[in-house]
Amino acid sequence: MTTELTLAAAFMIGLLGSTHCIGMCGGIVGALTLGLPESTRRATWRMLPYLLAYNSGRLLSYAVAGLIVGLLSHSAGQVFQMRYPIGGIVGGVFMLALGIYIGGWYPALAGLERLGGKLWRRIEPFGRKLTPVTSLPQALGLGALWGWLPCGLVYSTLAWSAAAASATQSALLMLAFGLGTLPMLLTMGGAAQRLQAFTRNQWTRYIAGALLIAFGVMILIKAGSGGHVHLHH
């Protein structure tokens, strides 16, 4: 694998990091769907459109956040004429912290999630107006709000996406990251239980954490050479 960060790498970060998602977000989906008829909640094929709507809104929020961060990063770079891309340096450090966090070695991002909770307290009341969920547009709207839930995994990837060569690429990286989290959050029933058992395994967390740390090192090396992230499809 080259040191160029790709959409595939963003997807893998989401996939590896989603070992954290199942504990933090798994219960959210259940809470959001309580307003639906029991017959809908018990039938996978009836429930799937709502799950897709929630997650589509969530991914849209990730892409918007990536676009905002990308615009801010490049504006700062142009104003201060930075030799090294500050977004890449910050992103690399955040990715190292995320690997340590996911691996369970140290709660490196717990403080950041608590800080993000202050923003969430301002956003969360808007979600109450969309509950209980009885339609797909409501599910989409709640999913879009869910995308702003305090999460160290999202914050780390946002910091990393700031190193992209353009704001559009930052948004695409965040979208690819979000797609990587989908397998974990779309599974239901027995498959979900087996997946949860796998992700909660100590060695699964260790391996995911080590790989994320490796991504962080790669980002810092690239930033140290004064380069930006360029997408290769």
Closest CA to 185 of 2, 66, 47, 37: 47
User: Which residues, given as ranges, of the chain have pLDDT below 50?
Assistant: 1-4, 79-81, 83, 189-190, 233
Q: How far apart are CA 99 and CA 206, in angstroms?
A: 9
The torsion angles phi and psi of 52, rounded to 5 degrees, stand at -65, -40
Secondary structure in 3-state letters for the chain = CCCCCCHHHHHHHHHHHHHHHHHHHHHHHHHHCCCCCHHHHHCHHHHHHHHHHHHHHHHHHHHHHHHHHHHHHHHHHHHHCCCCCHHHHHHHHHHHHHHHHHHCCCCCCHHHHHHHHHHHHHHHHHHHCCCCCCCHHHHHHHHHHHCCCCCHHHHHHHHHHCCECCHHHHHHHHHHHHHHHHHHHHCCHHHHHHHHHHHCCHHHHHHHHHHHHHHHHHHHHHHHCCCCECCCC
* Prediction pTM value: 0.80
Q: Dump pLDDT digits (tens) for 98-152.
A: 889 888 888 777 777 777 777 778 887 887 788 788 889 998 998 899 888 888 8
Q: Which pLDDT score is estimated for 3?
A: 33
Q: Which pLDDT score is estimated for 132?
A: 81
For tokens 């990587």, name the residue. 180
Q: Which pLDDT score is estimated for 64?
A: 96
Q: Which pLDDT score is estimated for 104?
A: 82
Give the number of C-alpha atoms closer than 13 A to the C-alpha of residue 39, restricted to the C-beta side. Answer: 0
Q: For residue 60, count CB atoms less than 10 angstroms from its CB and return exposed for 0-12, middle for 13-18, buried for 19 or more.
A: middle
Q: Which pLDDT score is estimated for 173?
A: 92
Q: Which pLDDT score is estimated for 25?
A: 64
